[in-house]
Structure 1
Amino acid sequence: MSKVSAESKRDSNVEKIFDEPNSVPPKKSKRWPMFLGLFVAVAAVSGAYYAYDTLYGSKHVVTDNAYVGADIANITPLIAAPVTEVHVSDTQHVAKGDVLVVLDDTDAALHLKQAEAGYQQALRAVKALNATDKTLLAQIEGRKADQQRAEAQYTMAEANFAKAKIDLERRQTLVENGSVSGDELTMAETAFKNAEANLGAAEASLAAARAGLEAAQGQQMANAAMIEGATVEENPQVLVAKAQRDQAQVNLDRTIIRSPVDGVVSMRRVQVGERVQPGMRLMVVVPLNEVYVDANFKEVQLEKVKAGQPVILHSDLYGDDVEFHGTVVGFSGGTGAAFSAVPAQNATGNWIKVVQRLPVRVALDPEQLKDHPLEVGLSMEADIRVAE
């Protein structure tokens, strides 16, 4: 019995040995379907990616690094004055032209009255110059008459002097023959001296008349230069006074500060009774109907991006249910790193390249903003359709 069992056991071991090699092929036959499945999966993923890139990815550039912006209006006074009224508060909607702040106008009103008085005084001064010009012209005519009279007197005195000289010379010749007495000679000498004196006086009068005429003409020319080539209203002196009056009126108008745009009031800092100075920020008005989006795309995404391409945007505020339509306006003049207070030192030895982002300005549809307003600083997701 033991011998038979030993032989049967040996035979079973031999069969087991011969059966083991025959079990390898089934294991190998199971690996081929696995490799085939893996290959099919990789091919499917590659094909899906290729299809996605061809049909969608190559026609779109997307970023969630986008934020709402606006050209806010800073409300600042242009004159120094105390605040008497503040008509708005933060979050309040205002329209263009609405009164925001009222300043004390006492000083501005007084300056306007002074400027108006100066303007009226300038008008009267120019009118007086016009009247003076007519007076000076009349004086010139009078001086011309005086000169003509002096010239006539000088001619008469010159003739009398010539006659007296001839009479004196004649009598001096005859006095040696005794034909003329000494008294006649004396009378002739006296007449000559009188004629000579009259000639000197006439000459002086003529010089004075000529000088008076030149002085009158000079005064008239100086006066005419002040009013020549312009009416009373166009006279430079009047224009200066008028400009001062207009400036005073502008300063008075500036005591009422109005909103320059439609929008929402933010950052209100002014209080009643506070004395403000020119350039001091009182508040800002954000024009929510004119907001835009600055989408910061990677530089490797911008190859096909051009101005005028359509943009689809979604806001985190409204979610995917609200779709905004925009248009690419243009590109910023530089990246954020270039305009930072401490720009990157790329020339150093430990430089590491970092992909930069360039802001792309996107204009939004104003009609959509009326239905779904956006505030400055909100996050957006931008999708530019580069294929269009």
Structure 2
Amino acid sequence: MADAEPENIARTSEPQASEQDAQQARRNSTRRKWLIRLGLLVLVVALLWGAWYLLFGRNHVSTDNAYVNAEMAQVTPLIGAQAIDVLVSDTQSVKKGDILVKLDPTNAQIAVAQAEADLAEARRRFRQTDATSDSLAAQVQARSADIVQARAQLTTAQADLEKARVDLQRREALVADGAVSGDEVTAAQTAYASARAALRLAQAGVKTAEATRGAATGQLEANQALVRGSTEDTDPAVLAAKARLESAKLDLERTTIRAPIDGVVTKRQVQVGQRVAQGSPIMSIVPISQVYVDANFKEKQLRGVRIGMPAKVTSDLYGGDVVYHGKIVGFSGGTGSSMALIPAQNATGNWIKVVQRLPLRIALDPKELAAHPLRVGLSMEVEIDLAD
């Protein structure tokens, strides 16, 4: 009996071992089938990826490092004054020419009134100068008449002197014969001296008259130089006064600040009663109908990229269902790191090459922008078709 029990145990263990071997074989077979299937799947995926890359992928570059940007307009007052009315607020849409802020016009109005008075004064001075020329011309003619009169007096004095000289010589010739008295000779000598003095006075009178006419002529020339070749409207002083008046009127117009472009108001920094400084920004206007995309591509991606190539752009705001069609309009003049506030200093001993990104600008279709407006700073994804 003891020998029969081991024999039975051996017969029972043999079927169990064969069954385990069969199960192991089935598992190995199943594993081989799945490995083959996985290998075939990887091969198919690799073939599909290779076909996609050859037919499509190698002709496309893309990036998600792209953002919406725009040429925003800064609104700055051109004069300093107090804000008396603010007509817009942040997020408000405005059209070009809409009134944004009104400044106190009192000082500007006073300046316009002063400029108008200065212009009237300049016109009055021109008319006065023009009329003075006629008066000075009359004075020159009067001085010419004085010269004629002085010369006539000089001729008379010369005749009187000649007569006195002849009388004196005649009486002096008769003194030896006693035909004339000493008193007569003395009287003749006195008359001669008086005639000679009168002649000198007449000569001085001619010179004085000539000098007076010269002075009058100089005044006339100087006065005519102020008006020669000019009219009341072309006189330099009048033109300068007109310019000051136009400047004052322009400052008065600038008390009303208007929108320079169409867009949306952002960063409003002015309140009623605040005194704004000339040239200090008080708000910005974003032209949402003219936004563009600045996309930052890796330098290796740009080997085949050229200006004018089409690009497809999607926004995180609308998702992949909304696709914008644009084109490349330009490349930045430098990489992002070179244009940073503190550019990288690569000329050092611890230099490590870092792939750089170059911004390029993509203009979008205005109709698509109107249908799906964007805002500055939104994230975008850009894909460029190099085959086109």
Please state which band the TM-score falls in when normalised by the shorter chain: 0.7 to 0.9
For residue 85 of structure 2, what is the amino acid of its counterpart? E
Q: 1:356 to 1:166 in 2, by over 3 A?
A: farther
Which residue of 2 is the match for residue 307 of structure 1?
307
Q: Secondary structure at the match of 1:354?
A: coil
Q: 1:163 to 1:367 in 2, by over 3 A?
A: farther
Which residue of 1 is the match for residue 143 of structure 2?
143
In 2, Cα distance between the equivalents of 1:278 and 1:80? 5
Q: Deviations over 1:172-212 (max 9, x none)?
A: 34534555543443333222212211111111111111111
For residue 195 of structure 1, what is the amino acid of its counterpart? A
Deviation, structure 1 residue 265? 0.9
Which residue of 1 is the match for residue 104 of structure 2?
104
Which residue of 2 is the match for residue 292 of structure 1?
292
Deviation, structure 1 residue 69? 0.6
Normalised to the residue count of structure 1, the TM-score between the two structures is: 0.85
In 1, Cα distance between the equivalents of 2:342 and 2:78? 34
Structure 1 residues not aligned, in runs of 5+ = 3-26
In 2, Cα distance between the equivalents of 1:339 and 1:166? 110
Which residue of 2 is the match for residue 118 of structure 1?
118
Are 2:175 and 1:189 aligned? no
In 2, Cα distance between the equivalents of 1:49 and 1:216? 105
Q: Secondary structure at the match of 1:387?
A: coil
Q: 1:174 to 1:339 in 2, by over 3 A?
A: farther
Which residue of 2 is the match for residue 206 of structure 1?
206
Q: Secondary structure at the match of 2:308?
A: coil
Deviation, structure 1 residue 155? 2.9
Which residue of 2 is the match for residue 350 of structure 1?
350
Q: Secondary structure at the match of 2:243?
A: helix
Which residue of 1 is the match for residue 56 of structure 2?
56
Q: Deviations over 1:144-179 (max 9, x none)?
A: 221222223223323433443344345434534555
For residue 203 of structure 1, what is the amino acid of its counterpart? Q
Which residue of 2 is the match for residue 132 of structure 1?
132
Give RMSD over aligned pairs: 2.8
Which residue of 1 is the match for residue 238 of structure 2?
238
For residue 293 of structure 1, what is the amino acid of its counterpart? V
In 2, Cα distance between the equivalents of 1:386 and 1:193? 121
182-191 or 91-100, larger mean C-alpha shift: 182-191
106-115 or 86-95, larger mean C-alpha shift: 106-115
Deviation, structure 1 residue 98? 0.7
For residue 267 of structure 2, what is the amino acid of its counterpart? M
Which residue of 1 is the match for residue 18 of structure 2?
none
In 2, Cα distance between the equivalents of 1:250 and 1:148? 59
For residue 146 of structure 2, what is the amino acid of its counterpart? D
Deviation, structure 1 residue 346? 0.6
Are 2:270 and 1:270 aligned? yes
Q: Deviations over 1:103-135 (max 9, x none)?
A: 121222122112211111111111111111111
Deviation, structure 1 residue 252? 1.2
Which residue of 2 is the match for residue 333 of structure 1?
333
Which residue of 1 is the match for residue 280 of structure 2?
280
In 1, Cα distance between the equivalents of 2:132 and 2:252? 37
In 2, Cα distance between the equivalents of 1:386 and 1:154? 109
Deviation, structure 1 residue 291? 0.9
Q: 1:50 to 1:145 in 2, by over 3 A?
A: farther
In 1, Cα distance between the equivalents of 2:156 and 2:100? 87
In 2, Cα distance between the equivalents of 1:103 and 1:204? 71
Q: Secondary structure at the match of 2:260?
A: coil
Which residue of 2 is the match for residue 366 of structure 1?
366
Q: 1:239 to 1:43 in 2, by over 3 A?
A: same
How many residues get paired?
A: 360
Q: 1:167 to 1:267 in 2, by over 3 A?
A: same
Q: 1:166 to 1:55 in 2, by over 3 A?
A: farther
Which residue of 2 is the match for residue 384 of structure 1?
384
Normalised to the residue count of structure 2, the TM-score between the two structures is: 0.85
Q: Secondary structure at the match of 1:208?
A: helix
In 2, Cα distance between the equivalents of 1:354 and 1:135? 88
Q: 1:198 to 1:51 in 2, by over 3 A?
A: farther
Q: Secondary structure at the match of 2:351?
A: coil
Are 2:250 and 1:250 aligned? yes
Which residue of 2 is the match for residue 95 of structure 1?
95
Residue correspondence of structure 1 range 26-105 to structure 2 within 5 A: 45=46, 48=48, 51-105=51-105
Q: Deviations over 1:299-346 (max 9, x none)?
A: 122222222222211111111111111121111111121121211111
Q: 1:44 to 1:146 in 2, by over 3 A?
A: same
For residue 150 of structure 1, what is the amino acid of its counterpart? A
Which residue of 2 is the match for residue 13 of structure 1?
none
Which residue of 1 is the match for residue 19 of structure 2?
none
